[in-house]
């Protein structure tokens, strides 16, 4: 069997199926793990990227990774052939079921496609110490990827409130790019 992570033809080319059969591979341990371990992987990787490329570039790369993840998540987990209300309800339920966070759509402008949403109890920052900064760059990309996969429109998503800046939910503004 070909090693999908080391061959020249597949190196750095994400494919959903490369995530593997987690149920089979982790029969005794199961599909879940503590958020602490997820954050350990995430924050150490971001730290390495920051040291290598600087904070601004590392955050851009993190956002790009989130976008790729969000796009593939939407295409492989969500039903993209439903109306907006059904899509949002399904997204809310899926994020909750997968313990990613609790989504709430605060506003959606049907004329522009712009929106504001919150994610509570999210994987990335809920419970972090207050540092007076927004930190959910990966989530910005993840949400933008999901929105583009569903609407076919590019989105610029920015975190406007964050647990790490003293709020108790992460709030994102999504602007449709014409």
19 inside domain: no
- Domain of residue 69 covers 34-177
Q: Is residue 80 part of a domain?
A: yes
In a domain, 92, yes or no: yes
Rounded to a whole number of angstroms, the CA Rg of the chain reads 17
Q: What is the pLDDT of residue 39?
A: 96
> pLDDT at position 10, please?
54
- Successive 10-residue mean pLDDT values, the chain, 178 residues: 49 85 93 94 96 98 97 98 98 97 97 97 94 95 98 98 95 96
Tens digits of residue pLDDT in 81-97: 999 999 999 999 999 99
Instruction: State the pLDDT at residue 11.
Output: 54
| Residues with Cβ within 8 Å of residue 95, at least 6 apart in sequence | 101, 102, 103, 119
CATH of the domain at 67: 3.30.1380.20
- Tell me whether residue 11 is in a domain: no
Q: Using CA atoms in the order 59, 163, 177, 98, what is the torsion angle rounded to 10 degrees?
A: 90
Q: Is 8 within the bounds of a domain?
A: no
What angle separates helix 55-77 from helix 35-53, to the nearest 10 degrees? 140
State the total domains in the chain. 1
C-alpha–C-alpha distance, residues 114 and 133, integer Å? 23
The answer to whether position 2 is within a domain reads: no
The confidence score (pLDDT) of residue 156 equals 98
Give domain status of residue 51, yes or no: yes
62-84 burial by CB neighbour count: b if 16+ within 10 A, else e?
bbebbbebbbbbbeeebeeeeee
Query: Residue 17: inside a domain, yes or no?
Result: no
pTM value? 0.92
């Amino acid at each position: 069997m070909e090693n999908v992570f080391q061959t020249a033809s597949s190196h750095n080319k994400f494919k959903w199926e490369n995530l593997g059969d987690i149920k089979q591979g982790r029969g005794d341990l199961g599909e879940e793990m503590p958020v602490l371990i997820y954050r350990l992987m995430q924050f150490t990787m971001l730290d390495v990227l920051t040291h290598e490329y600087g904070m601004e570039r590392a955050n851009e790369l993190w956002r790009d990774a989130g976008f790729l993840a969000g796009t593939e998540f939407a295409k492989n987990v969500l039903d993209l052939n439903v109306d907006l209300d059904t899509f949002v309800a399904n997204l809310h339920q899926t994020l909750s079921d997968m313990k990613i966070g609790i989504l709430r759509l605060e506003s959606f402008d049907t004329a522009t496609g712009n929106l504001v949403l919150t994610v509570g109890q999210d994987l990335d920052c809920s419970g972090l110490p207050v540092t007076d900064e927004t930190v959910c760059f990966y989530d910005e990309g993840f949400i933008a990827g999901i929105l583009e996969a569903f609407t076919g429109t590019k989105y610029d998503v920015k975190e406007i409130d964050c647990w790490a800046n003293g709020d108790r939910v992460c709030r994102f503004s999504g602007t449709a790019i014409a």
